[in-house]
Amino acid sequence: MLPPRSFFERLADAAAAETLPRFRVGADVVNKEASGFDPVTEGDRAAETAIRRLISQTYPDHGILGEEHGSVGLDRDLVWVIDPIDGTRAFISGLPVWGTLIGLYRNGRAVAGLIDQPFTRERYYADESGAYYSGPDGSRTIKSRSCGDIANATLFTTSPHIFEGRDSEQYRAVESRVRLFRYGCDCYAYALLAGGHIDLVIENNLKPYDVGAIIPIIEQSGGVMTTWQGERPEMGGQIIAAATPELHQQALALLNAA
């Protein structure tokens, strides 16, 4: 049996107690990458610590895969997959599109997840029963939309600069065919897709903690999320999420024809 939604909510509350007080107050930033810029803040580390503490106390037999504090028990049946602040660049810039990602894998398959946007007070949750939204405008079951042809689609990616070489050619092959494209929303783009507001998200170089919470929300809302090769996305890499199976096939064909 999976942990109840209320436990996911407790984890999100614990994380928000660490992140929100540090948002837009000049958070200390550490660069994790010597040859580039991969920021981490005190909020990232404190939020993950709070989440891990609750999991270890309540479900000591579960594994944990986290971005900031390593992994334990990855060979266990149930493994939590945590990104305390997805969109750290947005966080340190004062942009409220970052979120906390809390996912759960069962035997390597993503089965439940929560995207929490604590500043906007929005939460997107999914388990094997469906996908749900709660926020200032109420609570409801969510479903991705159908735009018909890719020519009508709205596409999001974090930045065009994440694509280089052939990846860039493949991405541009899709971008050139959609009606509208926008940049910069991190995990919030996937939430917008599940909520029926946009149609495609394409990214690359993702880690398991970037996708673990998102996969069930996309799938339970009616969308499709895979690698660019059409394979399961639990391990990250090159990722595409689409609002419908038909749109997914159209975009996948363009990616692999470039």
Q: What is the pLDDT of residue 37?
A: 43
| Residue 62 near residue 82 (C-beta atoms within 8 A) | no
Question: Is-contact 242 221, C-beta < 8 A?
Answer: no
DSSP H or E segment with residue 240: strand 237-242
Domain shared by 136 and 154, yes or no: no
How many structural domains are present in the chain? 2
Name the residue among 209, 214, 27 with its Cα closest to residue 117.
214
Burial degree of 47 (CB within 10 A; 0-12, 13-18, 19+): buried
State the CATH number of the domain containing residue 170.
3.40.190.80
Of 256, 258, 257, 254, the closest CA to residue 153 belongs to 254
State the pLDDT at residue 125.
Answer: 98
Pairing, β 237-242 against β 224-227 = antiparallel
Q: Are residues 189 and 239 in the same domain?
A: yes
80-90 burial, b at 16+ Cβ within 10 Å, e below that, comes to bbbbbbbbbbb
128 with 220, same domain: the answer is: no
42-61 pLDDT, tens per residue?
Answer: 888 999 999 999 999 999 99
126 and 31 together in one domain: yes
Q: What is the pLDDT of residue 29?
A: 61
Are 165 and 134 contained in the same domain?
no
User: Do 99 and 183 belong together in one domain?
Assistant: no
Among candidate residues 193, 57, 39, the one with its CA nearest the CA of residue 115: 193
Give the three-state DSSP class for 26: coil
- Domain boundaries, position 71: 5-141
- 27 and 130 in a single domain? The answer is yes
Predicted local confidence at residue 36, as pLDDT:
52
Buried residues in 129-165 as b, exposed as e (16+ CB within 10 A)? eebbbeeeeeeeebbbbebeebeebbbbbbeeebbee
Write down which residue in 141, 174, 206 finishes a domain.
Answer: 141
| Adjacent-strand bridge partners of 132 | 125, 141
Q: What phi, psi does 89 have (nearest 5°)?
A: -60, -40
Same domain, 74 and 117: yes
CATH code for the domain in which residue 40 is found: 3.30.540.10
Residue-level pLDDT at 68: 83
- Same-domain check for residues 241 and 198: yes
Assess whether 111 and 167 both reside in one domain.
Answer: no
Tell me the C-alpha distance between 36 and 161, whole Å. Answer: 13
Domain shared by 203 and 226, yes or no: yes
Q: Are residues 124 and 186 in the same domain?
A: no
- What are the pLDDT tens digits along the chain (258 aa)? 899 999 999 999 999 999 999 999 876 666 554 555 445 688 889 999 999 999 999 999 999 999 888 899 999 999 999 999 999 889 989 999 999 999 999 999 999 999 999 999 999 999 999 999 999 999 999 999 999 999 999 999 999 999 999 999 999 999 999 999 999 899 999 999 999 999 999 999 999 999 999 999 999 999 999 999 999 999 999 999 999 999 999 999 999 997
Give the domain-ending residue among 91, 122, 141. Answer: 141
pLDDT in tens, 180-208: 999 989 999 999 999 999 999 999 999 99
CA-based R_g, the chain, Å: 17
Domain boundary among 100, 120, 141: 141
